[in-house]
Amino acid sequence: MKNHILKLLFTIILVIGTSSIFAQVPPPPPGGHGTGGNVPAGGTGSITGGIGILLALGAAYGGKKVYKAWKDKDQIED
pLDDT in tens, 32-70: 655 556 656 665 666 677 788 889 999 999 999 999 998
Distance from C-alpha of 53 to C-alpha of 36, rounded to nearest angstrom = 32
What pLDDT is stored for residue 65 in this prediction?
Answer: 94
Angle, CA 33 vertex, CA 32 and CA 39 arms, to 5°: 130
Radius of gyration of the chain (CA): 25
Question: Where do the structural domains in the chain lie, given as residue ranges?
Answer: 50-78
Find out whether 40 and 34 touch, Cβ atoms under 8 Å: yes
Distance from C-alpha of 71 to C-alpha of 78, rounded to nearest angstrom = 11
